[in-house]
Structure 1
Amino acid sequence: MKNFVWGLIIGAALASSTVAFASSSILAYLFPVQFEINGQSVPMSKEVTVLKVDGRAYVPIRFIADHLGATIGYEDAAKKIIIKNQMLDITDPAYKSISAGNLIVTKDGNRSMVTGQIQLSGVGNTQNSVEAALSFYDAENQKLGEAVISGTQFGADVQTFVTYANGDLRGYRTVILHVKAVNKETVADEKGIVYENKDYAFGLTLPKSWEGNFEIMKAPSDGTEMTYHFIDRPNKAYGGVIFTLSVWKRADWQENGGSILEAGRTKKLGEKGEFVFTLSRPGDVQYDLEDESLAEEYAQMSSFVERIATSFRVR
């Protein structure tokens, strides 16, 4: 099936949104053409064959996707071709010069194949070694598995990678990138600040870089049992809320949780007994817009929120 996928051809120019054939066979001709993509002449190997069918050119989809900087995958169960060409928005907040994205996760037997892209900025080498891991979490904040990114041929430009992980990762909602080493130099994995809540028996791990720069404000809130606002202290005059952890009674969450999750700023962290725990990001500006240093500090602290969420645990 994989050979079929990578050899699959699509119309480069279509006269309408649907093409139907009267029979199960078509009449196609070899079409010797050259390609120019975004102003650059693109060489074609012998494996790339262009066909002409009813006046339309058909080319291998992987050839086009690769030269447009996109990733491509095939989901066999759904008979679906997946193409992604977006910003690389997955970063390790402790090592921001590496970014990943355009992830496509497909099933491969008892494991998952993860196709994606990665870029190293500010490194300057044409060949770089990288050791990193992508951790996948579901909507219930449970870890589904981990895919390792490892190699020595990562240049300064965007590179496509393929890696594998045990289990089925297709239902993931959150991905965390953890950079472990670059060019054989280990990236320090500092121990974070452990926050333990004795009132409701849960805990979080906050980044070491937050030390001395945050405070927690406990306050009751309509609809919830209790809320805890984690605040960037230097921006406190402007709100400074980085995230809010809320404790819900199960009945209240069952009544209101669906609509709250749909709004997109809240995620469920876990549950225990009669309580459900959630994390929310603020919906308005919480820092000084006039002060670049304060804005940058708030952004840096906020970049750790997804990682903090995955550290949540109940006792």
Structure 2
Amino acid sequence: MPSLRTEVTEITTGLAMMGLGDLDWALAARPAEIVGVPDATWDRLVAARAAGDHDADFHRAWDNGLAFLRATDGLRSRVPTRVEWKGPDKLPLQSDVPADLRVDRVYLVSCKYLSKVLHNVAPTGLFDGGLSGPVARAGDWFSTVAPTELQRYYEASRDELAASGIAGAAELAHVPEMVGDLARSGRDLLKSAFKRITPASVEEPYAAFVRAVAERSADRWKGTLGDRTDKERLLWRLLRLGGAPYFVLGASTATAPPMRLRIDTAWDWQQRYRLTAFEVWPEPAGQPVVRWQANVADREAGADVSVRGHVEVRWSHGRFSGHPEAKVYLDTPHAGVPGYHPLG
């Protein structure tokens, strides 16, 4: 189920496109042209508006929807007859367009608020598969690329848990000697312990583990990059350039100007830009990080531009808890990305 904040931003963006003039009146009207919003969701929006906790989100989303209604690249002041909210439903097939709204069955709109995350995938899907589709399962990524370092870090954590007195003998029975034998109860115990302590005794083995994962993940990715054409297609997938144009309406930070963008298709991108270099390298920090950078020639502007990002490789629910995930971030401001154009 989407968070209340997600519901507020996405549905209010679509609601503003109806040209109803007033946010509170529009929420009360619940126009039938907004498709896919259950009564219970409308009730939550009305309650959230009355509570005042999401006023900034309501106003940002309302302004963005109005801007799309008036934009030359958007609706050109033509009120739509149908705005569909995707909501919590999962598509039967993975889409290359991250749309939250579909307007008049033509315009695809992604509502992106306070997020620079491009993808959140299994590490093997990025480093081995290049986001191109399903790949063979690699098991636990950390056990695959850094088994020795993972075991050493686990042993240090287990020793610290015993020495700290946080866990008694009965609880320690859930923390076996080998990390591969660790079950849910032991993972929860370690996760809880690391919320309360940051022991110096595990700092060195953890740093060695982080370095190993970052370096070997980067090496695996480098080994799959291929030639310039392959790298260019990878960049399209990283930037979410697909077979259909779409729009992004949102804000990158709470204080930044609104983010209103038209996103090229891969075909559009190729008419104007050419990839000249794509590089990845490890940068271990508080957790394993792999940096990426693309250098792009802009034929129209006669200039070279670069787009940068990074990948955080981490447990999905805290140390030793949940499956490892690769979270892909965009570091370049959205308006500076080749193929992302300010809404006209």
Name the structure where strand makes up a greater proportion of residues.
1
Shorter-chain TM range is under 0.3
Question: Which gives a bigger RCO, structure 1 or 2 (Cα 8 Å, sep 6+)?
Answer: 2
Name the structure where helix makes up a greater proportion of residues.
2
